[in-house]
Amino acid sequence: MPAPDPDALTNTGLSTRAVHGGTAPDPATGARITPIYQTASYVFEDVAHAQRLFNLDEFGQIYSRITNPTVQALEGKMAALDGGVGATAAASGHAAQFLALLPLMEAGDEIVSSRNLYGGSITQFGQSFKRLGWHATFVDPTDPENFRKRISPRTRAIFTESLSNPGGLMVDLEAIAAVAHDAGIPLIVDNTLATPALCRPFEWGADICVYSTTKFIAGHGNAIGGVIVDSGGFQWDERTPALTTPNAAYHGTNFREKFGALAYTVYGHAVGLRDFGPAMAPMTAFLTLTGAETLTLRMARHSENATEVATHLENHPAVAWVSYAGLASSQSFGLARKYLADGAGAVLTFGLKGGYEAGIKVVESCRLFSHLANVGDTRSLIIHPASTTHRQLSDEDRAAAGAGPDVVRLSVGIEDAADLIADLDQALAASP
């Protein structure tokens, strides 16, 4: 359940961890690439061995809904990249967000969240989680004090994206972490757009990171997945009884007392995956492991290309504004220089002077940019959020999330930047 022993990677660079984290040679065959363990269950050595596993007295394999060696390798890699003690992989980014909150929340509990989130996350937090009795309050994240003002005795976490989707807003992680810790609650950061290659939230005080590995971690648009990484640094208390009181399903086990810094990660597997079942498939883990090995190389190229594209669009007569943290004109530029020293990522938005209709025309006119609902592919992607990913929100909520009617979102790939700029120019020429 926890990440493999990281000692061999101590003091190594991020690219080395991207290649080697979590992936020792296969002990059974010596295979250097982690095999796809395509199995539902595992043979026990004897009854005593089975009892130790089911009692959580020994880590090992029981059933692939709970643990799987291929998935564990990815969990180890992600923990190594983020500098965490353990990780829990899930079937999707949304499943990861659910599992991230599960150990913290009881009916009636709350989170205070940035309002600048992916539209699906706003819906998940604001609508679907209500059916569980979990409540979310959304605030403007540009002022960390906005989080403090909305914390109540039932608040169990602060949640924010590091780089927001779609707006590309960079938040002040260090200041928000201070607010969370002043209140004695953890900071959960969705680090999907930045990835550990550009930003490592634990270094700035965050306690938990979540990812849609579908995006840049896998990186090739071929596998849906998610992961939660735990820093191991937060001290769980009576406000999180799932981790600090006896668990009847495990003969009264107190996860904090038994597992210490690994309590949150072990709970994610032993309860979250066991009871709710959003497990990552071994094939997905294999594809994601392969993609993750080139994460640092890809993010550097993504960022380089996005900067060129953003700079060009900023000077285009059909474009009213560009939001990209790597531009000096961005309100996030100062924070980006602090938190994103190695590049501002691949995702940017821009507003068209022609408004909603122009946005639709541009996405329909592109030839290299693929019109689809995803980010983080090696290929460049384009979408008009107001008519797609954020259309379920009100006009006011779309505007607050950075997805107004004139907004077009790009996920800039690793092609030649000149070709991407030419494609956008011809598409902009075709718009009203």
Output the domain CATH number for residue 235. 3.40.640.10
- 266 and 321 together in one domain: no
CA 390/CA 116 separation, integer angstroms: 12
Q: 1 in a domain, yes or no?
A: no
- 333 and 280 together in one domain: no
Looking at the structure of the chain, the number of domains it has is 2
- 236 and 308 together in one domain: no
Q: 2 in a domain, yes or no?
A: no
pLDDT at 119: 84
- 363 and 287 together in one domain: no
Domain with 226, as residue range(s), is 12-292
pLDDT at 316: 97
pLDDT at 398: 67
pLDDT at 375: 96
Q: 7 in a domain, yes or no?
A: no
- 214 and 300 together in one domain: no
pLDDT at 7: 58
- 423 and 354 together in one domain: yes
- 173 and 33 together in one domain: yes
- 81 and 111 together in one domain: yes
Q: 271 in a domain, yes or no?
A: yes
- 44 and 137 together in one domain: yes
- 243 and 179 together in one domain: yes
Answer whether 41's CB lies under 8 Å from 101's CB.
Answer: no
3-state secondary structure the chain: CCCCCCHHHCCCCHHHHHHHCCCCCCCCCCCCCCCCCCCCECCCCCHHHHHHHHCCCCCCCCECCCCCHHHHHHHHHHHHHHCCCEEEEECCHHHHHHHHHCCCCCCCCEEEEECCCCHHHHHHHHCHHHHHCCEEEEECCCCCHHHHHHCCCCEEEEEEECECCCCCCECCHHHHHHHHHHCCCCEEEECCCCHHHHCCHHHHCCCEEEEECCCCCCCCCCCCCEEEEECCCCCCCCCCHHHHCCEHHHCCECHHHHHHHHHHHHHHHHHHHHHHCCCCCHHHHHHHHHHHCCHHHHHHHHHHHHHHHHHHHHCCCCEEEEECCCCCCCCCHHHHHHHCCCCCCCEEEEEECCHHHHHHHHHHHCCCCEECCCCCCCCCEEECHHHCCCCCCCHHHHHHCCCCCCEEEEECCCCCHHHHHHHHHHHHHHCC
Q: What's the whole-model pTM score? A: 0.94
Which residues in the chain show pLDDT less than 50? 1-4
